[in-house]
Amino acid sequence: MKMSFGLCSIFLVFWLASIAYASDPSQLQDFCVAVPDSKNAVFVNGKFCKNPNMVVADDFLYQGLNKAGNTSNQLGSFVTPVNVNQLEGLNTLGVSMARLDFAPYGINPPHTHPRATEAFLLLEGTLYVGFVTSNPADPAQKNKLFTKYLYPGDVFVFPQGLIHFQFNVGKTNAVAFAGFGSQNPGTITVANAVFGSDPKINPDVLAKAFQVEKNIIDYLQAQFWSNNN
């Protein structure tokens, strides 16, 4: 009796795990091409759908991802996103992508995508990439760093929500493409969010949080935190 209850519990756990979503919820129609209509006082989880009778092939087309992004900025990298904000036909379909360009020694600084796991393909160049796990349950342990050097043809996964980075360690440009399990993965660049917010986070909060003198926080908050995408 006890045994069968245990087995049932195990099956219940697996069943519950199997219905957890790994991407946006399934769409309820063939497609739902987004329209920039905010006049309507209705909110949907995503964007409004264009009348399907008005939908054309161009609604599903984005052009120009063969072109390199401009990496002449302080980070030496540029992200060209192709999500529902650039390609309306992606609305409700649960995927998106991006092109990433890196000048020699360019960096895509530590950031997270709150709504998507990222599958990252390096086409050209050499990158040092990594991500850090969330806080461990055991307070004696530390957040764990996973890193790899990537070479052309390598695919690396950045799990949803975890802080990650890509750094060009080669002497040549690097080019990568990323796939996301969300039409709108979102990006939080850690330094920009913490030191470059508007209005600024009270420096006393950050001095205490980072255990440093307030003038260090003042210095960091005075910097220009550029956003590479």
Ligand X SMILES: *[C@@H]1O[C@H](CO)[C@@H](O)[C@H](O)[C@H]1NC(C)=O
Least distance between ligand X and beta carbon 73 (Å) = 6
Q: Binding residue for ligand X (CB under 6 A) from 9, 70, 202, 223?
A: 70
Q: Running DSSP on this structure, what letter comes out for residue 219?
A: H
Q: Is 108 part of any known ligand binding site?
A: yes
In whole angstroms, the minimum distance from the beta carbon of 25 to ligand X comes to: 39
Q: Does 74 bind ligand X (CB under 6 A)?
A: no
Q: Does 64 bind ligand X (CB under 6 A)?
A: no
| 50, 34 contact by CB (below 8 A) | yes
Measured in residues, the chain has a length of 229
Using omega within 30 degrees of 0 as the cis cutoff, is the peptide bond preceding 159 cis? no
CA distances from 86 to 59, 101, 175 (A): 10, 18, 20
Residue of 18, 53, 63, 72 interacting with ligand X (CB under 6 A): 72
Q: How far is the CB of 77 from ligand X (least distance, A)?
A: 12
Decide whether 74 or 215 has the Cβ nearer to ligand X. 74
CB nearer to ligand X: pick between 78 and 120 = 78
Tally of CA atoms within 13 A in the half-sphere of 72 that contains its CB: 1
Q: Is 113 annotated as a binding residue?
A: yes
CA gap 121, 176 in Å, rounded: 5
**Shortest Cβ distance from residue 70 to ligand X (Å)?**
4
**Phi-psi category of 72—alpha, beta or left, where left has phi over 0 and alpha has psi -120 to 50?**
beta
Structure tokens at 74: 């302080």
Nearest CB to ligand X, comparing residues 26 and 63: 63
The reply to whether 124 sits in an annotated binding site is no
The residue count for binding ligand X (CB under 6 A) is 2
Task: Based on the shown chain and the rule CB under 6 A, indicate whether residue 224 belongs to the binding site for ligand X.
Answer: no
DSSP classification of residue 166: E
Binding site as annotated, residues: 108, 111, 113, 118, 164
What are the residues binding ligand X (CB under 6 A)? 70, 72
